[in-house]
Amino acid sequence: MLQDGNKSEHRFAYQVQEAESGQTIEWFLKKRGYSRQILTQLKKTDQGIRKNGTWAYTRDRVKEGDLLGICLIEKVEAGKILPVRLPFSVVFEDEHLLVISKPADMPVHPSMNNYDNTLANAVAAYAQEKGESYAFRCINRLDRDTTGLLILAKHMLSAAVLYGQMRRKEIHRTYLAIVKGRLESPGVIDLPIGRKEGSTIERIVDPEHGEHAVTHYQPLQWDTDWTLVQCMLETGRTHQIRVHMRHIGHPLPGDFLYCPEDHSMKRQPLHSWKLSFMHPITGESMEFVQPVPEDMKEYMRCNKRGEIGFYEISDDS
């Protein structure tokens, strides 16, 4: 990766295998996740595609043993996101992606009322301090008060491949949530979710107009008045876990939207605990786990009445 002010350059090399012989370069690259937008940009880039050291067209065909060299150049619009030093943790980083842990009370993207207090601002400052420049591309999203793991792509190709994995449900997301009441059996909630009429942010279960949404949940630990559940998402609808758990009578305490009468926590206790996916460039299998936040542990400690469930989340889980 080369950095030049607000421009980044990434180079990739591929050797054609026997089974790929006869394919066009366009088809060869599409099979590796190159989007139409990237291919269009490569066509406009001088020496963007080289076959065996010579500039090539996407319609050219390859044969076994050919070497393809790709030069992907991106311009990052200066000043689009204000760099602001804000706390977040880097769990993994290479030249292609970042896996970070987001704290509570931090929106992911800037908006009219959140111009300089977002994860995007924090990442812009982090990149600036390292002398890097890349667009903010968040692959999985989290609500403002949801903590935990997020994937950020550093360039167009890693973003395209990771978005493709998300569409094909190959990025596996596991959350931990504290819900009100006692749950002892696992279950699946398969109920459509849509926007509540008259609200710009609130969602409801809406069988008629809602979008397909599926949440798998597994109780891990419980007491009389609360349960720690593991939730795995098949879909990624806005507020999905919060809406589904409220619908079955187990809202998250402290959730100002879906359990407004409960003030036992300052936020909804929802944490992006585990992420697993394939590295967008190397194809390596990757899995990350982020410890349970202290405020969720404190809630469980303070609300113990002696009836603890069958699975303990350790401090280093």
User: Known catalytic residues?
Assistant: 143
Q: In this structure, is the dihedral angle defined by the CA atoms of residues 108, 270, 126 and 157, taken in order, positive or negative?
A: negative
CB-CB contact of 81 with 96 (8 Å):
no
d(CA 48, CA 100): 31
Residue from 248, 174, 155, 261 nearest 218 by CA: 174
Q: What residue type is assigned to position 99 of the chain?
A: V
**Number of separate helices (H) and strands (E) present in the chain:** 6, 17
**Alpha-carbon distances, residue 46 vs 55, 73, 74, 105, 162 (angstroms):** 8, 10, 13, 45, 26
d(CA 172, CA 97): 17
Cβ-count burial 202-235 (b if 16+ within 10 Å, e if not): ebbbbeeebeebbbbbebbbbbeebbbbbbbbee
Phi and psi for 114 in degrees, rounded to 5? Answer: -135, 75
Q: Which residues contact residue 94 at a Cβ distance below 8 angstroms, ignoring those fewer than 6 apart?
A: none
Is the backbone of residue 281 left (phi > 0), alpha (psi -120 to 50) or beta?
alpha
d(CA 144, CA 87): 14
Residue from 20, 29, 26 nearest 58 by CA: 26
